[in-house]
Structure 1
Amino acid sequence: MEQIKSILATTDFSETSANAAQRAAIVSRTLDAKCTIANVISRGTLNALHDLMAPDSSDELEHVLVDDALEKLHKLAAGLKSEYGVEAAVSVSAGSVLRQIAQQAESQGASLIVMGAHGSGFVRDLLIGSTTDRVLRKTDRPMLVVRKKPAGDYQRVLVPVDFSERSGAAIALAHVVAPKAELVLMHAYQVPYEGHLRMAGVAESKMVELRQSAKDEAARQLEEFVAGIGVSGASIRPLLVQGQAASAIVEQAAKLECDLIAIGKQGLRMIEELVLGSVTRQVLEQAPCDVLVADRKRH
């Protein structure tokens, strides 16, 4: 797992995006990484305002918006320096929000993108429906989605695993972002096609036997996986649960009071829907804590 040397945090100056900036500063301080706080002035917003203004005043309006954003960013950066001792750079751009975030991450060599879970403008829109898919597809960098005001370093991270290489990458990334945290490696198992078997009239005694068999096999695989992950210095706790992936992730994160969930974009079997599918959406929408989405290519 490559080290995180540069972090890009997006902000629309809402409370949740301020939380994201604070979390970016904490991670930056922990990892001694460069931190940049960026605001994007939506091209759609500019176009709408231009339609209301005289043609000769439209460029002036854009300059006013950029200057206002820069003033707010410098104030935010000053607060981060005062509270966390982190010197954050600032950046303002105008255009397509998705394209600007991807381009800034690329130009700055950002190893991690940090965003608020909800916002008053573009950050909110980025996490609704297919727009999430587009953001995650536009960059091969990991994304940290911040839901709560940070209270310090992450203490406990839930990492759903399906024993694939992608699960290993998510574990490695979680350990980089949260080096002091306990990593709870959770595998959710189910009897394949249990609902169909019940509808077909399979006896309950046979269902009990199938559940025990599935549990035993999952426990064996989890034990082997944990023994072979090779994350040096990490505090590891294996966890086996029965149930559907997304709901089990959300429930266990709340039950164990985890402050971060780390998931991979791709995997096998249980987690293959994490390729920007319904599991990712469900976790992002319902998670009681921050969510770290591992990248696809950079491990």
Structure 2
Amino acid sequence: MTSRTPPGPILAATDFSGPSRHAADRAARLAHETGAALTLLHVLPGGALQELREWLGASHPMEQQLHDEADRQLGAWAAELQTSRRVNIRAVKSTGSPLVEIDRECEELNASLLVVGARGSGFLRQLVLGSTSERLLRRTKRAVLVVRHKPHEAYRHVLVALDFSPWSAHAIALARRVAPHARLLLFNAYQVPFESKLRYAGVDPATIDHYRKQARADALQRVLSLAASSGLKPGDWDPCIVEGEASQALLEQEQEQDCDLVVLGKHGRSVTEDMLLGSVSKHVLAEGSTDVLVSTARDA
């Protein structure tokens, strides 16, 4: 038996909120399952600290108290996870812009995965739900796992959204790396191009239905080809080809198929589709109910 090379390091960012605790727990589980190195990072926002100095003075003991409390909480979390998940954890505290500090730590570690909670109480709330999340996804070269729920087991049912752009093969590879024992649902949403205009132009329903069937058949064939080129075995995956608008169809399938992870990519086939896919990612992050893994690479 050949030994498997452990994946690259994992970075989990925490603001000590409940959601970020779930994220740290999932990161520790993944590190234990895959043998990856794990770093737990907390950032004290530099802007807030500067305001504190302006209000209370540069030598006020409150700033040191904040640092000491962050060190205490970070150390306690790391020790708890090391014991419960049987994994070594490197704890890091930094000060500055959370976006800059997270990105810097990712680069220094050459992290293969950044893990954050879906809704933090501090800087991570803006990081995941606000404009900062878009800046992070545009800036980072790392896959980003957004965790919504307390993890109870390894991922089992993973919905991988495909648009057949260059990142699609990487999305499948990433899903297999993060959820090696999961069954994959390879999802694609198709639509008849300009259907409303065809109807307006008087194209008969039978012809439009023919186009619909052809669009579905084409999508299925491309999914089959992509699965084969990705090395998936028949028992490892199922096709999930649906008609409709991508973001809404994705959310519906997430629920119907009882998925515990959705994998998306931030790149489309063109600048316009990059914008569309960004809106799909944003919609799924805001409205979905399961963990979301965002691929950031075009190649497998």
With structure 1 as the length reference, what TM-score do the two structures score? 0.91
1:298–1:107 distance in 2 versus 1, CA, 3 Å:
farther
State how far apart, in whole Å, the 2-side matches of 1:84 and 1:197 are.
57
Which aligned pairs between 1:91-130 and structure 2 lie closer than 5 A?
Answer: 91-130=92-131
RMSD: 2.2
User: Displacement, 1:99?
Assistant: 0.3
SS in 1 for 2:267: coil
Counterparts of 1:198-213 in structure 2, within 5 Å, are: 198-213=199-214
Which stretches in structure 1 are left out of the alignment for 5+ residues?
A: none
**Count of aligned positions:** 295
Paired residues of 1:21 and 1:37 also in contact (CA < 8 A): yes
- Per the alignment, residue 162 of structure 1 pairs with 163
Aligned AA (2:27): A
Distance (Å, rounded) in 2 between the aligned partners of 1:8 and 1:234 = 32
User: Which region of structure 1 is more displaced relative to structure 2, 227-236 or 237-246?
Assistant: 227-236
From 8, 13, 16, the equivalent of 1:10 is 13
1:173 equivalent in alignment to 2:153: no
CA 1:274 to 1:19, structure 2 compared with 1: closer, same or farther past 3 Å?
farther
Check 1:232–1:81 CA distance in 2 against 1; reply closer, same or farther (3 A cut). Answer: farther
| Alpha-carbon distance change, 101 to 189 in structure 1, aligned in 2, over 3 angstroms | same
- Say if 2:264 is the partner of 1:263: yes
Aligned residues with identical type, % of pairs: 40
2:194 is the alignment partner of 1:193: yes
Runs (4+) of structure 1 moved beyond 4 Å? 231-234
Distance 1:183 1:274 in 2: 26
The secondary structure found in structure 1 opposite 2:188 is strand
Q: CA deviation at 1:81?
A: 1.8
CA distance in 2, matches of 1:253, 1:192: 25
1:200–1:35 CA distance, 2 compared to 1 (3 A): same
Query: Residue deviations 1:233-253, cap 9 Å, x none?
Result: 981211211111111111111
CA distance, structure 2, for counterparts of residue 3 and residue 261 of structure 1: 23
**Structure 2 partner of 1:138:** 139
Q: Which moved more, 1:131-140 or 1:147-156?
A: 131-140
Deviation at 1:204, TM superposition (A): 2.7
**Counterpart for residue 54 of structure 1:** 57
2:278 corresponds to which residue? 277
2:39 paired residue number: 36
Change in CA separation of 1:189 and 1:90 when aligned onto 2, cut-off 3 Å: same
Question: Match of 1:27, as an amino acid?
Answer: L
Q: 1:196 to 1:134 in 2, by over 3 A?
A: same
Contact 2:115/2:145 (8 A) holds in 1: yes
Whole-angstrom distance in 2 between the partners of 1:43 and 1:181: 40
Q: Which residue of 2 aligns with 1:217?
A: 218
State the distance in 1 between where 2:254 and 2:142 align. Answer: 24
Larger displacement relative to structure 2 (162-171 or 254-263): 162-171
Question: 2:160·2:264 contact (CA, 8 Å) conserved in 1?
Answer: yes
**TM-score, normalised on structure 2?**
0.91
SS of 2:93's equivalent? strand
1:162-192 Cα distance to aligned partner (Å, 9 max, x none): 2333111000011011111111111111101
Mapped to 1, the partners of 2:248 and 2:232 lie a distance apart of: 27
Is the deviation greater in 43-52 or in 113-122?
43-52
Counterpart in the other structure of 2:184:
183
Distance 2:27 2:35 in 1: 11
- How far residue 207 of structure 1 moved from its aligned partner, in angstroms, is 2.3
Unpaired runs of 5+ in structure 2? Answer: none
